[in-house]
Amino acid sequence: MVTQNNEGKEQRKQRERMKLQFESHSWNESFARVTVAAFLARLDPTVEEMEDVKTAVSEAVTNAVVHGYENEIGVITVETEVDGDLVIVKIHDEGCGIADIKQAMEPLYTGKPELERSGMGFSFMEAFMDEVEVESAPGQGTTVTMKKRFREGSEAQRDHEKETPDLDRNGKNGK
């Protein structure tokens, strides 16, 4: 939804969503990364914000390809949502799942040492995003949900601040 503020400038309100599905070929990692970046470009993020999200998406998609589906081809779903200055990216596979999420998220842990994997995928996601949540079970696939709030200076932040009233503890306009 696009509205106009008091100065007549168009601004985005509410939530916007994008959903993408593709086969788990390794070359689709760059496709996912670029597609999410194109969707987020309208928010006018800083270069650092955009690179953080792109890196996290790359790591999550690579995990789905290498660990989720192993040597099989399956479907990876990327859902991206923008809610004001908050970006939420979900990467889902229906692969083999993770038996021990806590162990899998440990830095340097890899379930594929024979492939010379670094075991830093989840560490990178956590470093570049504000929140990372992993839901998984053996045989049920994995969903990685990553959140990042775009900082002051981005167009999204400025528009969000203009359209959001100051509310008191009871949710009433404090102005």
Is 164 a residue whose pLDDT tops 60?
no
Task: Identify the band that residue 103 occupies on the pLDDT scale cut at 50, 70 and 90.
Answer: confident
60: left (phi over 0), alpha (psi -120 to 50) or beta: alpha
Q: What is the pLDDT of residues 106-130, one digit of tens each?
A: 776 666 656 655 667 788 889 899 9
The domains located in the chain, with CATH, are 16-163 (3.30.565.10)
pLDDT band at 174 (very low <50, low <70, confident <90, very high): low
DSSP codes, 125-175: HHHHSSEEEEEEETTTEEEEEEEEEPPTTSHHHHHHHHHSPPB-TTS-B--
Q: Which of 78, 173, 55, 73 is nearest to 125 (CA)?
A: 55
pLDDT at 84 exceeding the cut of 50: yes
- Say what the pLDDT of residue 157 is: 47
Looking at the annotation, which residues are catalytic? 59, 63, 117
Would you place residue 41 in the very low, low, confident or very high pLDDT band (cuts 50, 70, 90)?
A: very high
Q: What percent of the chain has pLDDT over 90?
A: 54
Return the bridge partners of 82, or none.
16, 87
Query: Taking residues 34-43, what's their average pLDDT?
Result: 94
Please state the rounded mean pLDDT for residues 133-151. 94
| Residue showing tokens 């229906």 | 94
Average pLDDT over residues 1-23: 70
Q: Average pLDDT in the 141-170 region? A: 68
Checking if the pLDDT of 49 tops 80, the result is: yes
Dihedral, 80, 14, 49, 24 alpha carbons, nearest 10: 0
